Amino acid sequence: MTDNYRGSGDADSTQQHPTQGFQGPAYPPPPSYGPAYSATPAPGPAVAPAGPYPHGAHASGRAARRAKAPVALLAAVALAAAVVGGGSAALIGAYTGNGNGVGSGGTAVHGTTVSQSSAGTVAGVAQSVSPAIVEINAASNSGEATGSGVIITSDGEIVTNNHVVAGASSVKVQLSTGKTYTANVVGTDPDKDLALIKLEGASGLKTASLGDSGQVKVGDEVVAIGSPEGLTGTVTSGIISALNRDVTVAKDQDQGQQQGGGNGGGNWPFEFGGRQFNGDTGSSKTTYKALQTDASLNPGNSGGALINMNGQIIGINSAMYAPSSSSSTGGSSAGSVGLGFAIPINTVKADLSSLRSGGAG
């Protein structure tokens, strides 16, 4: 018996079985698509009884898979929407956790969007800090002096310069709102030119945030707020010009007052680099390390705030150079020339407990 074969790609080909003598149609070529299912289970543990599937089992399995596909698609779309809507917070939760899309605490961390604002600008600093800066009017036997102060507690504790309130028989404080309080001197430290006063009957006041003067660098932008020449809430700006300047000032209030009266309370004398400015500091004086700034300071800024661009107090303004006026009509000074000095706020913070207990003077 002879076996005859035709080409495997010919649909009309026949073959003669070598043992049974049966001639029939050749096997058709494989379909261009795979079978809907395989009769042979995939390797792995058995999950169904052995033997043939019940009638219609494969069809229902396919239908189930088709039914699940839209659900999976919807879940993917929902996840994509969550990522778009939640921003990077969803990604943070997915990639900083334990591989399961959650953080170490078991839940994803969702951030909030920070809107654009005036933070970091002179306008933003002024708006934020001005309510915590006050004008101080101190009366004494030598006359009246005007200075500034910084509110540090909501019930009215205020830091200022010693030379603003030294020898004062009465102290009046005006807030940025225009409201006026009577204040008492709690403690003074003439060696650091610092004083602490307390308003009578105050509560719920806006307070300043005290920064870290140890982090200040030359060139940092700063804002000064005070009441120069009685102009309440005046805002100026500049930079830190130098650090750790040895500034010498008079301890006695009378020495400062003899330079002139009026709204500014005179140009407070100080010494720097072996030279005297704004008059003679006298024999009773003290030296401290100061921040130097070119922010405009004038008489009345003493005791006010020097502020960084985060709105934190980094110094208490205490001295400035005011050259004599050449005008024949003459005022007591020709105004600021960009040489101002401030007591570092870290010095203030270290001295607060002493001031609250009466201070050194």
Q: Where are the alpha helices (DSSP H) in the chain?
A: 57-86, 88-95, 122-129, 162-165, 253-257, 345-356
CB atoms within 10 A of CB 274: 7
Query: Which helix (H) or strand (E) is 317 found in, with range?
Result: strand 312-320
Strands 209-210 vs 221-226: parallel, antiparallel or unpaired:
unpaired
Burial class of residue 190 (count of CB atoms within 10 Å of its CB; 0-12, 13-18, 19+): buried
**Terminal CA-to-CA distance of the chain, rounded, Å?**
132
Q: Each residue of 27-54: b (16+ CB within 10 Å) or e? A: eeeeeeeeeeeeeeeeeeeeeeeeeeee
Which of 189, 193, 294, 351 is flagged as catalytic?
193
Could you give phi then psi for residue 301, rounded to 5 degrees? -75, -15
- Which letter, b or e, does each residue of 117-150 get, where b requires 16 or more Cβ atoms within 10 Å of its Cβ? eeeeebebbbebbbbbbbbbbbebebebbbbbbb
How far from chain centre, in Å, is Cα 335?
Answer: 34
Phi, psi angle pair for 347, to nearest 5°? -65, -40
Is 163 noted as a catalytic residue in this protein? yes
- Amino acid 81: pLDDT: 42
Which of 130, 241, 302, 336 does the annotation list as catalytic?
302
> CA distances (Å), 93 to each of 89, 99, 109, in order?
6, 10, 6
pLDDT of residue 184: 98
pLDDT for 111 equals 39
Q: Which pLDDT does position 212 carry in this prediction?
A: 98
* pLDDT reported for residue 19: 45
Model confidence pLDDT, tens digit, residues 138-191: 998 888 889 999 999 999 999 999 999 998 999 999 999 999 999 999 999 999
Q: Which of 163, 237, 241, 294 is catalytic?
A: 163
Res 268: pLDDT? 66
Tens of pLDDT, residues 213-239 = 999 999 999 999 999 988 999 999 999
With a pLDDT cut of 90, the percent of the chain lying above it is 46
pLDDT, tens digit, for every residue of 16-34? 444 444 455 555 665 555 5
Beta-ladder partners of 234: 226
Tell me, yes or no, if 302 is annotated catalytic: yes
Residues of the chain below pLDDT 70: 1-117, 252-268, 324-335, 361
